[in-house]
Structure 1
Amino acid sequence: MNHNDEITMAPGHDNTQVLGLDFHNPVFPLSALAIIAFILYALIYPDAANTQLTAARGWSIEHFDWLFMIVGNIFVLLCLVLIVLPLGRIRLGGENARPEHSRLSWFSMLFAAGMGIGLMFWSVAEPVAYYTDWYGTPLNAAAGTPEGASAAIGATMFHWGLHPWAIYGVVGLSLAFFAYNRGLPLSLRSAFTPLLGNRVRGWPGHLIDITAVLATIFGLATSLGFGASQAAGGLNYLFDVPNTLGTQIAIIVGVTAVALFSVWRGIDGGVKLFSNINMVLALLLLLFVVLTGSTLLFLNGLWDTTLAYASHIVPLSSWIGRDDTTWYHGWTVFYWAWWISWSPFVGMFIARVSRGRTVREFLTAVLLVPTLVTIVWMSAFGGTALAQSAAGVGELANGISDVSLAMFHMLEQLPLTTLTSSLAILLVLIFFVTSSDSGSLVIDSITAGGKTDAPRGQRVFWATLEGVIAGILLYGGGDAALGALQAGAVATGLPFSLVLLVMCVGLVKSLRQEHRDLVLAGAT
């Protein structure tokens, strides 16, 4: 095929080999220096860093809420259109490419990397928070009423359904297409080749990749740090384990150690293994909640959750004339900025494991299947939590006092509390491992110039660095330092939203060219 608007660029074309490492100049050294500089700043001035970056995050959310909403809506529509158009028949890797993983393992890895860990906490905490007016209510629905319950579960599904997965899907599809169909490096810069041409080899490409590395590692380190605090809170609640800094550091060390084992073994022996384990454990916990709670409530909840999502998705997608500004900015726009900042990491990992899938199969698995699974999960966990809150049963009757304990408060009202809560903690920890592992693979690929077979030592370096960053910030600056890191990651959502829009243009342009070439060749 002749693609005049694109270039050929071999993975690792500007790489340097030092001490057994194979890294890309200047992405690897500049990323490392930027990370070190930020950590030092956050440690020396944690409160100032938190204040400044939180202000930057707040400014972007307040003034560009319309942009985040438009971008999210465009991605959903684009993915749905690509599923039904003839472009959906294009196969990632060419007509003869075949998938490397079974559908079940493939989906398990997608879900574990995408948002599995978030659903463990927020599937319970979020609908109850909205229902009890913890921080405003969606669309100003009356708290504590049936209408408020419908808005609560509908808004939670809105935040964890089509929109975030569409963001991941667009990035993942772009990266997979340009890597497997155009022979470009598996790196974020490759998706901009149709628009930047040879300039992706230079500083525009370097800056794109460096920003992706920083957003990924800061997001992962933040999640690991806050997750250690949440896991320690759960252990304290269940087993009276002291919720101290030492406990939280020990959790980070333990998770990082398992992640190192996983990342050393690679995708098949590491990420795939732990993702499959997680899916089995999550299914067991889901079945337990359904069978020991109210099965009838769950079955009714499937319909109620689906209906609530369908009836609220349009008004929640609008940015015009909103009266629930506090809730809208504090939840929806924040989520959209967070998902966008995470999209280089999740999108690239999805691309990494999706060779051989058609565009239609890819987007169906990345967009529609996770949404359906989330409806089931939310109907069980969110529905049970709302029922307990509405009936005045247990701690959830008083709303949310601690997000990290919401799941345990819900499980406390069901049989075998200690066993199921222990299973929930184990699930959280394994989700942390899969997130750290997949993130290390992604960062390693970017900093190795798009190579997927860089030395194992580099993957180990990045996995270790994630744990070190989380531990140091937790030890040296506490929640203020971690908050600064999170605010910095979310603030990158604003420039990245524009970057992703440009990426969409290049993707559609190249898919249309690919389809024309296939039609001329008689392949489709």
Structure 2
Amino acid sequence: MKKATRVFYITFVLIALTVILGATIPERFERVTGYFRSFIDTTFGWYYLVLMAVILLFTVILILSPYGKIRLGKDTDRPEFSLISWLSMLFSAGMGIGLVFYGAFEPLSHFAIQPATAEVGTDAAFREALQRSFFHWGFHVWAMYGIVALSLAYFQYRKGQPALISSTLKPIFGKRMDGPLGTVVDVLAVFATVFGVATSLGFGAAQINGGLAYLFGIEQNYINQMIIIVVVTILFILSAWSGLNKGIKYLSNINMALALALMVLVLILGPTLLILNMYTETFGAYVQNLISLSFRTAPLDDQNRSWLNGWTIFYWAWWISWAPFVSMFIARVSKGRTIREFLIGVVVAPTLLGSIWFAIFGTTAIDFQKSGIDLTVFSTEQTLFALFSEMPIGTFMSIVAVVLVAIFFITSADSATFVLGMQSTGGSLLPSNQIKILWGIAQSLVAAILLSVGGLTAVQNTIISAALPFSFVIILMVISLFMALNEEATASKSKK
């Protein structure tokens, strides 16, 4: 195939083998992957916590350091996209379906099902529910995306290297990254990307189906989810065909507008004063408790440690597994920005927007729960629609939510096909439409097969297992970036 590298063919074979195993022996596959996930959770939980905290610290240091003035590109380069379009695209790629899927459910779960440390249904559990949701979707996540994306963007635009994960490690390994070692790194990145996005597509199809079932009585089953996947696949392939400046850009802007409109509606129609007060208090507490939250392992508390493994450690591994995809896309749309501008935009803006989202939807869901409306009886994908059904113009908001999930579905898959195309064509910034379409179809097929055998849990376990080796790659990327920045600063001083 024209321009396809060995990374393309190797990864395709590995993906096919994994899907065949998941489809033919689903119970055994899920059991084995579950064992590996459990081992990683219990053995490396402390490691994930320390890694994410150190990355956040390194991000703050870079923002405040003289390195922040360095531009991602030539000194004369300027951003390709407006600030609003840029933020919309990175937000859509980075969180997308997850915010709609978990926006009401996660805080509600921390309050009414299984709080971290407080008692179920108490005011302490209410405050803790929001803080933990902010923590799981906040500064740490975006700092990790930001550092990986910064490393990619710096070596692409400042040093003229191909847009590959392996290219960022050349200051450490040199030309060995052009051989088998580099191929291993890039294959791992592509593998994690395909299954990470496929799982997200599975969630998206399930939630769209759940919304349609709640609104119109359409049955929740595999056939309907397959129809949803087929329709959305056609749409995101058309979007991918049109390129960055049209498809993804326009859809991301529409997404942002719809998300903001939905947030404002729930803020106005929900318990407005309670939302504002809870957000002010709990976001302040989140910032105040950032250090203790970052390093909490609960070694002497079995119940809390189990909660941490199921939520925080799971999230940290999940976000690491998404790093190749999200960070490469963020890097691709960030040429021309300074390091300081880039990191502030990537870390601070999405954290603030995400925390507001969780405060609005989480507070509203918990307030209804406290008033006697039991939302915990609904499945995860139907919680949001059950919430809307208790509010004025709930049907309208549910329809907007379905459209929002569909567009997030399209933009996530569209972004992923673009990134996969880059990674499997030697880092081309303009991968061919043929390659992008093949990856798009592959992602959808993986999602469809996994849904058919109930294998989303197994593939989540697979991704979390893959996150461990990729976390070591991230550490090397941070070291390599520091080496390159220090070398550039030294060279700049010697010229003076």
TM-score (norm 1): 0.92
- Give the superposition deviation at 1:253: 0.6
Which of the numbers 325, 346, 349 marks the counterpart of 1:345?
325
Structure 1 equivalent of residue 485 of structure 2 = 511
Spell out the pairing of 1:283-302 with structure 2 (5 A cutoff): 283-302=260-279
Alignment equivalent of 2:55, drawn from 72, 75, 82 = 75
2:370 is equivalent to residue 390 of structure 1: yes
From 387, 397, 408, the equivalent of 1:420 is 397
Q: After the TM superposition, which of the residue ranges 274-283 and 367-376 deviates more from structure 2?
A: 367-376
1:246-299: CA deviation from partner (whole Å, max 9, x where unpaired): 100001011111110110001111111110010011111111111112332232
* SS state at 2:153 partner: helix
Residue 6 (structure 1) aligns with:
none
Tell me, in whole angstroms, the C-alpha distance in 2 between the residues paired with 1:312 and 1:239. Answer: 44
Q: Deviations for 1:180-205, whole angstroms, at most 9, x for unmatched residues?
A: 11110001101111111010001110
Tell me what 1:485 maps to.
Answer: 459
**In 2, Cα distance between equivalents of 1:27 and 1:91:** 30
Q: 1:363 pairs with 310, 318, 343, which one?
A: 343
Q: Counterpart of 1:395 in structure 2: which amino acid?
A: D
Q: Does 1:22 align with 2:3?
A: yes
1:128 is matched with 108
State how far apart, in whole Å, the 1-side matches of 2:297 and 2:385 are: 38
Report what 2:74 is aligned to. Answer: 94
1:237 to 187, 207, 214: 214
Counterparts in 2 of 1:253 and 1:293: CA distance versus 1, 3 Å: same
Q: Is the 8 A contact 1:90 1:515 kept in 2?
A: no
Uncovered stretches (5+) of structure 1, i.e. residues with no partner: 1-17
1:407 aligns with 2:384: yes
User: Given the superposition, is the C-alpha separation of residues 267 and 400 from structure 1 closer, same or farther in structure 2, using an over 3 Å criterion?
Assistant: farther
> What count of residue pairs does the alignment treat as equivalent?
493
Looking at structure 1, the residues matched to 284 and 163 of structure 2 have their Cα atoms a distance apart, in angstroms, of 39
**1:235-384 → structure 2 map (5 Å cutoff):** 235-322=212-299, 323=301, 324-384=304-364
Q: How does 1:200-219 map to 2 (within 5 A)?
A: 200-219=177-196
Say whether residues 1:457 and 2:434 are aligned partners: yes
Contact 2:37 / 2:465 at 8 angstroms: preserved in 1? yes
8 Å CA contact 2:101, 2:207 repeated in 1? no
Residue 168 of structure 1 and its aligned partner are, at CA, apart by 0.6
Counterpart CA distance in 2 for 1:321 and 1:117 is 31
- Kept after mapping to 2: 8 A contact 1:436/1:463: yes
Provide the rounded CA distance (Å) in 2 between the counterparts of 1:419 and 1:519: 60
Contact 1:79 1:166 in 2 (8 A): yes
Q: In the superposition, relative to structure 1, how do residues 131 and 311 fare at CA in structure 2: closer, same or farther (>3 Å)?
A: farther
Q: Residues 79 and 400 of structure 1: is their aligned pair in 2 closer, same or farther, counting only changes over 3 Å? A: farther
Post-superposition, which runs of at least 4 consecutive aligned residues in structure 1 deviate over 6 A?
none
* Letter aligned with residue 402 of structure 1: S
Instruction: Quote the residue 2:115 is aligned against.
Output: 137
Q: Which amino acid aligns with 2:274?
A: L
Partners in 2 of 1:127 and 1:293 — Cα distance?
A: 16
What letter corresponds to residue 144 of structure 2 in structure 1? I
Q: 1:14: which partner in 2?
A: none
For residue 460 of structure 2, what is the amino acid of its counterpart? Q
C-alpha separation in 1, matches of 2:285 and 2:463:
31
Aligned to 2:468: 494
Moved more, 313-322 or 224-233: 313-322
Partner SS for 2:163: coil
Q: How far apart, in 1, do the equivalents of 2:456 and 2:136 lie?
A: 23
Tell me if the contact between 1:125 and 1:407 (Cα under 8 Å) persists in the aligned partners: yes
Map Cα deviations across residues 167-222 of structure 1 (whole Å, 9 max, x no partner). Answer: 11111001000111111000110111111101000111000000101000011111
Residue 107 of structure 2 contacts residue 358 of structure 2 at CA under 8 Å; is this kept in 1? no
Inter-partner Cα distance in structure 2 for 1:378 and 1:433: 22
In 1, Cα distance between equivalents of 2:368 and 2:287: 24
Equivalent AA in structure 1 for residue 463 of structure 2: A
CA RMSD of aligned residues (A): 1.4
Q: Compute the displacement of 1:368 (Å).
A: 0.8
Structure 1 stretch 422-431 or stretch 142-151: which is displaced more?
142-151
